[in-house]
Amino acid sequence: MTMDIVNIVAVDQTGDYKLKLQFNDGTIQEVDFKPFLQHSLHPEIRAFLDAKKFADFKLEHGDLMWGDYALCFPIMDLYTNQIGKMHLTAAA
């Protein structure tokens, strides 16, 4: 069976900034968002370092988001657990 579209089907918060994501092909990733949030220079992104604000995520149509797309990530970056890796590597 070939999967054309990858979606998130379940999400559980496992730590202050960690989410366990289950995808429609059975893949599970535990993504730590804290390094990305800490290294961002954008104040609207850094605002999600507030644990209550971070915890207010939602799963909508297979996408993980906060607010009305105030914070969201490309699905493949979440699927491969590579959020912000290019940004963090370039800044190192």
Residue pLDDT tens, the chain, 92 long: 456 899 999 999 999 999 999 999 999 999 999 999 999 999 999 999 999 999 999 999 999 999 989 999 999 999 999 997 654 444 43
Q: Tell whether the torsion through CA atoms of 12, 20, 7 and 27 is positive or negative.
A: negative
Domain boundaries, the chain: 8-91
Please write the tens of the pLDDT for every residue from 30-47: 999 999 999 999 999 999
Nearest in space to 33 (alpha carbons), one of 92, 78, 91, 67? 78
Q: Which fold would CATH assign to domain 8-91? A: NE0471 N-terminal domain-like (3.30.2020)
Cα angle for residues 57, 58, 59 (degrees, 5° grid): 140
The two beta strands, 71-72 and 63-66, are antiparallel
